[in-house]
Structure 1
Amino acid sequence: MQQSITSKVVKNSFNPLFADSSFSELDDMFIIPKSKKIKKIKNSFEIKDIYIQSKYNFGKALEKSIKQEDKIITLVLKIFAIDDLNELDRENAEIIRNFLKHYPKNANKYDEFKGLTPLDIAKLNKKLNKATLSARTIRGIIQKMSTFCSWCINHNYISTNYFYKLPTLPPKVDDIRLAFDNEHLEKIFNMPDYTSWKFKHNYYYWIPLLLLLTGARLNELCQLWCKDVQLIDGIWCLIIHEKNEKQRVKNIHSARIIPIHSTLLRLGFVEFVQSKNTKRVFSELKLFNGYYSHNASKWFSRRRASLGLGKGLDAHSFRHTFATALKRKGVSTVLIEELLGHSHNSISLDLYGKKFQTSELVNIIELIDGSHLSHIKPFNLRK
């Protein structure tokens, strides 16, 4: 008879497995035949709550991200307005996708929409004409619903994921993050922070330089510990990982080693790190909603606006600039993905491929042009 484990308060004192105190968590577990298990029918919102709780229990996502996902799935379920998820089909999924094009952005911020159903909000917005969800946001909603439905299939709540590969409109040009061109970089690295050598925090000086010359994500840099700057095989490197307290990386592919560009060495980054008497490199950046990058992102957004840099250009644009520069130099996609911390979309490469040697990676890093930073004084000479 097929058996499964289920939770029930029944003490099994005869099983030697439970005699050791190290298995105390299993004291209230026992084996029952699968045929006797009765699965209670749950409505769509109850299933959603179980899914969200599983994200808290077993996922590595931050609370902010989980709450956002909860909000998105709740919105879709309210649009669907049917308790039984099994009543969903492809046509309904397409109707939901098309409906989202008319739904206002940040609807909860407007008093006019309070207390209304999603359908009534969309109808009212036809008159108010407030900005609607972008194509990029709608694509993200569909992807989150697809992930939720896949989980529901795995837990035997539904049989088909109708959101899987549901076509969506491509993002508009205004919604796409762009790379910086030379004119943009000239403006950024001639900010008063660099020309007057006066800045409130050390990250004002270092973060734009590190973003440009490492290709790392903003939070990966903001969360660095001093011991994450190490000499490996005679080459100074940044170690991107989540082994230290409150550190996190986007996924398993994001943990990596990035050799430090010679321009950063010239400007004294290693000496700056070694001079710190704190655990973290940028200890002035405090944790906010699970990220150390919050204040740095806000700061750069203000600088970006003051420089007249348009929509689609933000701190993440440095990663696009980094990748674009290497592509133009003819660097292989595999090497670029290694430095950016992306998956190679290949089981052989992702799971079994050996990491590149730092001596190979440093040659790629040095292809990033640092000539337009030649006017910047080393950190210790800034005063």
Structure 2
Amino acid sequence: MIREYIRDQHGKVRFERLRQAENHLLRFIEIAGDRPLSEYRSPDVTAFAHELSERRRLSASTVNGHLSSLSALFNWAIAQKRHALAENPCSGCKLPAGAVIAEQRQQAAEKPFTHEQLRAFFEGDETRADFDMPYKYWVPLIQLHTGARIGEICQLEPKDIALLDNRIPAFRFVASTARGKSERRVPVHPKLIDLGLLAYIEGVSGLDTLWPGLIIPRLGSKGQNVGMWLSRHLERHGLKRSGRRTEAFRSTFQHYMRLAGVPELHINAILGHRDRKSAGTARKPLWATQPDALLNSLAKLDYEIEFCSYAGLVPAEH
């Protein structure tokens, strides 16, 4: 049936779109089973959409693309009047427009900063004046050079920067997940060392936080207060366009690491993404087995920006 439909559509639909539709229809047969068209019902289509969105984690717009291809097949079959079809089982089965809009907003929020936007944020006297507290200077820089979440950075203590393999300074990030807390180590980027991060950490070594003056909310996100400040700071520099979240430096890090040719395996290890191929297996993390490889990958990341030095005072009293 699919072959007959595709042959009939040749010359009526662009070749690329036709190939895409064929793949969509074959996926439906794979999931729903190969049956006569007249036997498919709306629950079959709903189950197909659920499989794509919930189990295979396809985007809302991609799922709707599959449903559109499937609906076109059923409409064609009804017009042929040869398949005992009275109505299209796809009617009303598309994911709601709100899901697609939310997805588009999410994509806009995670769009990486351009080099010009990064320069606008990190260079210049106006930026220097905004960094009147240590966390305002260091948190964006650490996120830009590690891809860590703001909340992970905000809860750092001086003891959370320690040596890997007794020689490589590294952050210890702790994240809360559905499976509990997860921990990963990320080598300190050489640029952060050049800017004086290790010296700053030494200056606050007697404190129970890396960020004196930063109030961590008891409830809600650990990075809530920094996030609100950063949002205002982005807006001040004309970078707070619709959808832009304050985790944008995380997606920027990922984007520029890929541009630098860093293996996806290393990027995922640094970001704390699970390796699906090794899910469920007891495998040591890369930071424990290949710290030099991760450091070398990080060292490939060069934004070619003249980051201003932090002009604030490190607390002298512990």
- TM-superposed deviation, 1:195: 3.3
- TM-superposed deviation, 1:262: 1.0
Distance across 1 between alignment mates of 2:229 and 2:178: 22
Contact 1:285 1:292 survives alignment (8 Å): no
Residue 324 (str. 1) matches residue 255 (str. 2)? yes
Provide the residue aligned with 2:270 in structure 1: 339
- TM-superposed deviation, 1:280: 1.1
Q: Deviations over 1:127-183 (max 9, x none)?
A: xxxxxxxx79xxxxxxxxxxxxxxxxxxxxxxxxxxxxx956545544422111112
Distance across 1 between alignment mates of 2:178 and 2:296: 26
Aligned partner of 2:291 among 358, 364, 373: 358
Q: Deviations over 1:332-368 (max 9, x none)?
A: 2211110000111123686325534211111111122
- TM-superposed deviation, 1:287: 2.0
Residue 352 of structure 1 aligns to a residue whose secondary structure is coil
Residue 263 of structure 1 aligns to a residue whose secondary structure is helix
Contact 2:157 2:210 survives alignment (8 Å): yes
Provide the residue aligned with 1:131 in structure 2: none
Evaluate the alpha carbon distance shift between residue 278 and residue 290 of structure 1 in structure 2; reply closer, same or farther with a 3 A threshold.
Answer: farther
Distance across 2 between alignment mates of 1:296 and 1:302: 10
Percent identity between the two aligned chains: 25
Residue 282 (str. 1) matches residue 214 (str. 2)? no
- TM-superposed deviation, 1:304: 1.2
Provide the residue aligned with 2:22 in structure 1: none
- TM-superposed deviation, 1:282: 1.6
Residue 298 (str. 1) matches residue 231 (str. 2)? no
Counterparts of 1:55-134 in structure 2 under 5 Å? Answer: 90=43
5+ long unaligned stretches in structure 1: 1-88, 98-134, 137-165, 243-247
Residue 351 of structure 1 aligns to a residue whose secondary structure is coil
Q: Which amino acid aligns with 1:352?
A: R
Contact 1:229 1:238 survives alignment (8 Å): yes
Contact 2:171 2:185 survives alignment (8 Å): yes
Residue 257 of structure 1 aligns to a residue whose secondary structure is strand
Residue 236 of structure 1 aligns to a residue whose secondary structure is strand
- TM-score scaled by length of structure 2: 0.60
Distance across 2 between alignment mates of 1:221 and 1:303: 18
Q: Deviations over 1:279-330 (max 9, x none)?
A: 1112423224243201000001111112122123332111111111122222
Contact 1:211 1:319 survives alignment (8 Å): yes
Distance across 1 between alignment mates of 2:178 and 2:192: 25
Provide the residue aligned with 2:53 in structure 1: none
Contact 1:178 1:317 survives alignment (8 Å): yes
Counterparts of 1:133-148 in structure 2 under 5 Å? Answer: none
Distance across 1 between alignment mates of 2:313 and 2:219: 35
Residue 181 (str. 1) matches residue 111 (str. 2)? no
- TM-superposed deviation, 1:252: 6.1
5+ long unaligned stretches in structure 2: 1-41, 51-59, 62-93
Evaluate the alpha carbon distance shift between residue 263 and residue 90 of structure 1 in structure 2; reply closer, same or farther with a 3 A threshold.
Answer: same
Evaluate the alpha carbon distance shift between residue 254 and residue 217 of structure 1 in structure 2; reply closer, same or farther with a 3 A threshold.
Answer: farther
Residue 244 of structure 2 aligns to a residue whose secondary structure is coil
Q: Point out the more displaced range, 180-189 or 346-355.
A: 346-355
Residue 195 of structure 1 aligns to a residue whose secondary structure is helix
Distance across 1 between alignment mates of 2:178 and 2:149: 9
Distance across 1 between alignment mates of 2:180 and 2:258: 24
Q: Which amino acid aligns with 2:133?
A: H
Residue 180 of structure 1 aligns to a residue whose secondary structure is coil
Residue 218 (str. 1) matches residue 146 (str. 2)? no
Q: Deviations over 1:199-237 (max 9, x none)?
A: 442111111111101110110001111100112221111
Provide the residue aligned with 1:11 in structure 2: none
Distance across 1 between alignment mates of 2:126 and 2:290: 35
Q: Which amino acid aligns with 1:221?
A: I
Aligned partner of 1:262 among 190, 205, 213: 190
